[in-house]
């Protein structure tokens, strides 16, 4: 082993987050400036977000789902209580996993490494990249 | 040239991850690790003997 690092995952890359959200939702809009989210009646809500999943693509009688950039540059989810029933903690956990894996795949490719194996065991996902 | 392998382990419950670089030395190791900056907060970092080997070799020259 040459070097070792342990780190957490924070949603910071808007494009990467949007790409991961598109695995679940058919449409995900990324706005340079935060826009007001809409409720299921088409009413404009006070909450704003830069990454928005329009309510039509969330589900029937759903509200927009948004991810708003915070002061530290990270994105925080804005999900209504109604939509949290379907897109709650489990959804966010899967999203975080998807984002984490996508980040490593993207960055490994940037340095010229290629994925040679992916394994799931004991509650962990292990990716191995070969860097020639 | 030793085989250079990057091993990523992701905890499915927390999404906390570890990056293990093997077969790298010195600046090459640091450059690759830098590519994995920006994911989140680094909670632990360590360099192993072979990371320092390149520095020792440069000093000897």
- For residue B56, the model assigns a pLDDT of 47
Average of per-residue pLDDT across A40-59: 96
For B:1-60, CB contacts with A below 8 A are 3-25, 29-33, 35-36, 38-48, 50-51
pLDDT tens-place string over residues B9-61: 999 999 999 999 999 977 788 899 999 999 999 999 988 766 555 444 444 44
Instruction: For residue A12, give the nearest of B24, B29, B38 by CB distance.
Output: B38
* Structure tokens, A106: 């993207």
Residue A1 pLDDT: 55
Please check the confidence at residue A62 and state whether its pLDDT lies above 90.
yes
| Residue A17 DSSP SS3 | helix
Percent of chain A with pLDDT strictly greater than 90? 96
Does A131 sit within 8 Å of B44, measured CB to CB? no
Span A100-128, average pLDDT: 97
Distance CA B31, CA B34 (A): 5
Across the interface, whether the CB atoms of B22 and A5 are under 8 A apart is answered no
Q: How much is the pLDDT for A21?
A: 98
Query: Could you give the angle at the alpha carbon of A97 between the alpha carbons of A110 and A106, nearest 5°?
Result: 10
Q: How many residues does chain A have?
A: 132
Residue with tokens 């795949």: A105
ipTM: 0.90
**Chain B hits for A110, Cβ within 8 Å:** 35
The answer to whether B45 contacts A100, with C-beta atoms less than 8 Å apart, is no
Residues contacting B49, CB < 8 A, separation 6+: none
What pTM was estimated for this model as a whole? 0.91
């Amino acid at each position: 082993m040459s070097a070792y690092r342990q780190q957490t995952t924070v949603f910071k890359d808007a494009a990467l987050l949007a790409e991961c959200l598109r695995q679940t939702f058919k449409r995900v809009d990324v706005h340079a400036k935060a826009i007001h989210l809409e409720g299921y009646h088409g009413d404009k809500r006070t909450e704003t977000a830069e990454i928005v999943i329009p309510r039509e693509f969330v589900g029937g009688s759903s509200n927009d789902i948004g991810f708003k950039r915070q002061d530290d540059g990270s994105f925080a989810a804005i999900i209504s209580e109604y939509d949290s029933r379907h897109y709650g903690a489990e959804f966010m956990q899967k999203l975080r996993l998807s984002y984490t894996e996508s980040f490593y795949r993207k960055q490994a490719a940037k340095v010229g490494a290629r994925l040679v194996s992916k394994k799931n065991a004991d509650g962990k996902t292990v990716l191995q990249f070969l860097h020639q | 040239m030793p085989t250079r392998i990057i091993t990523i382990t992701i905890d499915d419950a927390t999404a906390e991850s570890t990056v293990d670089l093997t077969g790298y030395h010195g600046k090459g190791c640091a450059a690759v690790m830098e590519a994995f900056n920006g994911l989140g907060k680094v909670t632990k970092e360590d360099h192993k003997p072979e990371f320092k080997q390149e520095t020792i070799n440069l000093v000897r020259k």
